[in-house]
Amino acid sequence: MPSAIVTGATGILGREIVAALGTDSGTWQTVHALSRNQKESYPPHVKHDFIDLTEDAKAMAKQLEGIEAEYVFFAAYLQKDSEQDNWDVNGAMLQNFLDALEMTGAIQKLKRVILTTGAKQYGVHPGPPKQPMEESDPWIEGPGRPLNFYYNQQRILADKAKHASWDWVVTYPNDVIGVAKGKFMNLGTSIGIYAAVSKELGGELVFPRSETFYTSFDCFTYSRLHAQFNLWAAIEPRCSNQAFNVVNGDTESWQNLWPKMAKKFGCKVPANQFDLPLDKDAGSVMDLAPDPPMAETAAERGLQDKVAPGKVEQRIDLIKWSQRSDVKKAWHSLRLEKGWRRTDSRKRLGGSWVSSLVGTTTSFCQ
């Protein structure tokens, strides 16, 4: 039976990969869940091993002594403050990890590396991408384009595999819905806190973004579905050296989801939520790149000079909202009532909302 290594084992996506491997002891002999801390118990064939992926390859090799497997699920990710830092740090983590496996000799047993990336692959951060987003779409890079560390990671992976006996698979999940303790870059956590506090403040749950976004369409990726895909792709020969979108398969809209969220939390969506008067400083508008990703292929699609720049419009800017005195008071009350643990006042809760709900990184207060 094969064995597996999972990096980022406590993250939203890595955690579910470990869980899926952990429920199938008949297929997977040993699972090495790698992270700096173990946050939950594992079945007997799943072993937690310490690793610090920010170390250099030599230091990592010492941490990886005695650890080997046929399949590596690389789901680790470290959010930094700039795209250059994201490029450097996340690229180095993958490069040094693979180098460390070479140093220990574990690379000789390796058959496939499955790398988790995301919808940022399609350049959603500088503006509207081509729709639908397909794996064969051109990468959004070059002069005037922001760095995309997913491209760096994929090139590192492909270059390493060219001279090796193992191959690779890359996944592109979209807006991820999942659970992981202490991980605040989570759409579900962000919505949950916003809804819980809104209930405490009177029960009206106002959608924080624009009416246009509310009535548009989107798709999501359930973290458990992504894990199941990873397990299938790991051992499916036809997946070799390919990248795959991994989404739930249904099409959703916030006009459908938001009332359901409100009901779940005992709130009500105001009938005229987009006409409600708000403080003039409650919202924000962020203009995106003047040349959006969709413009890359506009001419061949008959849309030359027809692609408008994107913008992120927040009727309620959740960073500003989180700093309101009544919100702070409500959160403090909820934390005491529910026994929730104290969190840093600037923990980022909404990084994943860039392309889904808020559009900028949000924070919350104690």
Q: Please give the single-letter amino acid code of residue 137.
A: D
Q: What is the pTM of this model?
A: 0.91
What pLDDT score does 361 carry?
Answer: 32
pLDDT at 362 over 80: no
The model's confidence at residue 30, banded by pLDDT at 50, 70 and 90, is very high
303-315 pLDDT, tens digit per residue, is 999 999 999 899 9
Q: Are 46 and 21 in contact (CB under 8 A)?
A: yes
Could you count the other beta carbons within 10 Å of the beta carbon of residue 16? 24
Residue 81 is classified by DSSP as: S
Paired tokens of 252: 């959703």
Give the model's confidence band at 344: pLDDT under 50 very low, under 70 low, under 90 confident, else very high.
very low
Buried b (16+ CB within 10 A) or exposed e, 230-256: bbebbeeeebeeebbbbbbeeeeebee
Per-residue pLDDT tens for 91-149? 999 999 999 999 999 999 999 999 999 999 999 989 999 999 999 999 999 998 999 99
Once rounded to an integer, what is the mean pLDDT over residues 204-223?
Answer: 94
Closest by CA to 31, choosing from 68, 4, 1, is 4
Confidence check: pLDDT of 359 > 50: no
Residue 38 in contact with residue 12, Cβ under 8 Å? no
The DSSP line for 285-326 is EEE--SS-GGGGGTGGGT-TT--PPPEEEESS-HHHHHTSHH
> In angstroms, what CA-CA distances link 272 with 25, 29, 277?
53, 56, 10
Please check the confidence at residue 21 and state whether its pLDDT lies above 60. Answer: yes
Supply the pLDDT for residue 125: 87
The whole-number average pLDDT for the span 269-291 is 92
d(CA 284, CA 290): 18
Q: According to the model, what pLDDT value does residue 343 have?
A: 61
Whether the CB-CB separation of 59 and 120 falls below 8 Å is answered with no
Residue 318 corresponds to which tokens in the numbers above? 């959740």
Residue 329's H or E segment, with its range, is helix 325-338
